[in-house]
Amino acid sequence: MSLSITANSSLLSADVNTPKAATTAAKPGEKIATPAQARSQLNASIITASFEVAINSQNEPLALLLKTAITGINDLLQPEFGENALQRAASQDNTAEGTAGRIVSLSTGFYEAFKNQHVGEDEATVLKNFMTTLRSGFEQGYKEASNILQGLNVLNGDVASGIGKTHELVQQGYADFEAAQSSRISGAQSVTAEI
C-alpha cells in the first residue's frame, strides 16, 4: 500500500534530519519550517492518510479480514510448510479424484504407526481394526461436511455429485488398500507356514 503525503504550502519542506543551516532558503514573506514543525506536519499527514485508509477499509471489511487472516496463518505455518502455505494448498487438485486420493493416502499412511501400537497381535485383526477406524472417521467427517454444505443450501447439482463421487472413491481406495495389505499378510503367513 502506498500513501501519498502532501505538504502544506504555508510551510517549507525540510529534511527532518537536516540541521537548520542546511534548509532551503525561503522566499520573502514565507515562513520557514523548523525540523520540529516539519516532523509535526509529516505526522499529521500520516494520521490523515491512515484515517482515509481506515475509512476505505470499511467499504470492504471481509476482504480486509481475509487478507489479514491469510497473512497471519501463513506467518504461523511458514516455519513448517514454507512461504505462502495457504495459497499453495488452495492451488492443489480439488477434484473428487484429487481430494479422495489425499484422504486415502494421508489416512492409510498411519498404518505402520497403528501396527506398532499393536505389536504381538494378529496382523489381519490389526488391519481390520485399522480399516474400521479409518472408515468410521471418514464417515463422520463426510456427514459433518455434508450437513454444513446442506445448511448453506449448496449441496445440490455439481457439488452434490462431486461430494458423492469423492465418497465412492475414498471407499474404493480403502478397499484397495485393505486388499493389498491382506494379500501381503496372507503371502507372509504362507511363507512362514512353509518354513
d(CA 11, CA 32): 6
d(CA 139, CA 132): 11
pLDDT in tens, 114-124: 999 999 999 99
- How would CATH label the architecture of 93-194? Orthogonal Bundle (1.10)
d(CA 82, CA 190): 46
Rg, the chain, Cα only? 32
Q: Percent of the chain, pLDDT > 90? A: 36
Q: Is the dihedral of CA 67, 70, 75, 78 positive or negative?
A: negative
Give the cell for residue 39.
516532523
pLDDT in tens, 97-140: 998 998 999 999 999 999 999 999 999 999 999 999 999 999 99
Q: What is the mean pLDDT of the chain?
A: 76
Give the cell for residue 157.
447439482
